[in-house]
Structure 1
Amino acid sequence: MDKWIALVKANMKHPKVTQTELAERLGMTQGGVGHWLAKRRVPSVADMNRVLAELGLGYLEVSLQIRERSAEGPDTTSHYNPYFRYPVSDWSGLCEAREERASYGAPRFELTDYHARGEAFWLPVTGDAMTAPSGLSISAGMMILVDPAITAEPGKLVVARWADSPQATFRQLLKESGQLYLVPLNPTYPKLLLTDDCRILGVVVQATAKF
């Protein structure tokens, strides 16, 4: 709930949208919106998503995480915590601007508590180019969450694609002697110079593994 409120308030500032204006768009009273943002009342998941859509965040979706009850019984101190879900993409033919493409089969989504700045998407990690012998290591089978709206700075993990290749690349962006390189975490792979014909599609903001 706290993260949803923070996201809504941040996007009401730029451009400025008052509670009254938002309430009119939703077909409800200003007081009702105020109760939600002050945590006096908890909106339904459907209402949370209606608010996001009215603020131009329709590419985000709030979902509930369902988990097994603990052996000690229900946790009466826990709070309602919304989760966001983002689509799972594949590496082949990954679109830079996430434009609409023909759908082949039902879309797949994964949940996270991260609320993205842009139209984020998940990618399954393949190969061992980002598997390091020590320190930061992201192995095959893990899922990475990519946010296109995050600024790609040296040190960040990024997904990039060359203009002449439909296959995207997952590497760490590093700066050496004034040049930017895409560097694997696995030292047995070569680093690649970031040239003008290579576009960074987004910054990796989360990596998860499922068991």
Structure 2
Amino acid sequence: MDNWIALVKANMKDRKVTQDELAERLGMSQGGVGHWLNKRRVPSLADMNRVLAELGLGYLEVALEIREREEEVPGVETHYNPYFRYPVSDWKGACELREERATYRAARFELTDYHAEGEAFWLPVTGDAMTAPSGLSISAGMLILVDPAKAAEPGKLVVAQWADHPHATFRQLLEESGQLYLVPLNPTYPKQLFTDACRILGVVVQATAKF
């Protein structure tokens, strides 16, 4: 609950969404939203996910995790969920890793249930170029999982690098009039023409908030 409240409040601040505006989107009163965000009432899982969707975080899901006790319970089947760990890189390191094809030097790893097709890696989001006023939005401080083996098709979020720039950039690959562009989700930033001087380092397959 605390993590959900922190995530909602952070994204409301990033998007400049007030409790009144969020309540209107949800079709409820401002007081009801206030009760949730101040822990006076606990929303249902469906309501928690509905709030995330209205803030452009529909790719995240609040789920109830039920664990079995250590002792065996008769008649209860045990399920195992696979998790994979990938290194957390930085934006310069991402370029070096793809260039050298070297072993990962990152000391930090994060877990996910995503089974990557290639040598995937996490990157911390910086800046607000991918923070949108509505719809899909990925805020600073979140982690994105990049899979170099995924096909970079129009509409995908990608990490790319320009030949004359030592660092990578995070944008959405879009096609307009037969030409590809790297487009930020924040409309105050300019889009860039995708040319032969730019290469795709990988496709973003997950985004997550860490607390």
TM-score category (smaller protein): 0.5 to 0.7
The structure with the greater share of residues assigned to helix is 2
1:187 alignment counterpart: 187
Whole-angstrom CA distance in 2 between matches of 1:195 and 1:71: 50
Matches within 5 A, 1:94-133: 94-95=95-96, 96-97=98-99, 99-100=101-102, 103=105, 107-133=107-133
| CA deviation vs aligned residue, 1:91-127 (integer Å, no higher than 9, x gap) | 0242234522794xx6110000001000000000000
Structure 2 gaps of 5+ residues are 1-64
Matches within 5 A, 1:1-211: 77-93=77-93, 94-95=95-96, 96-97=98-99, 99-100=101-102, 103=105, 107-211=107-211
The residue type paired with residue 148 of structure 2 is P
TM-score by length of 1: 0.61
Q: 1:72 and 1:183, CA in 2 relative to 1: closer, same or farther beyond 3 A?
A: same
TM-score by length of 2: 0.61
Q: CA RMSD in A?
A: 2.3
Whole-angstrom CA distance in 2 between matches of 1:201 and 1:138: 19
Secondary structure of residue in 2 paired with 1:92: helix
| Contact 1:184 1:190 (8 Å CA) reproduced | yes
Deviation at 1:143, TM superposition (A): 0.3
Q: Which moved more, 1:129-138 or 1:78-87?
A: 78-87
Structure 1 gaps of 5+ residues are 1-68
Secondary structure of residue in 2 paired with 1:182: strand
The residue type paired with residue 168 of structure 2 is A
| Contact 1:98 1:119 (8 Å CA) reproduced | no
Whole-angstrom CA distance in 2 between matches of 1:78 and 1:135: 38
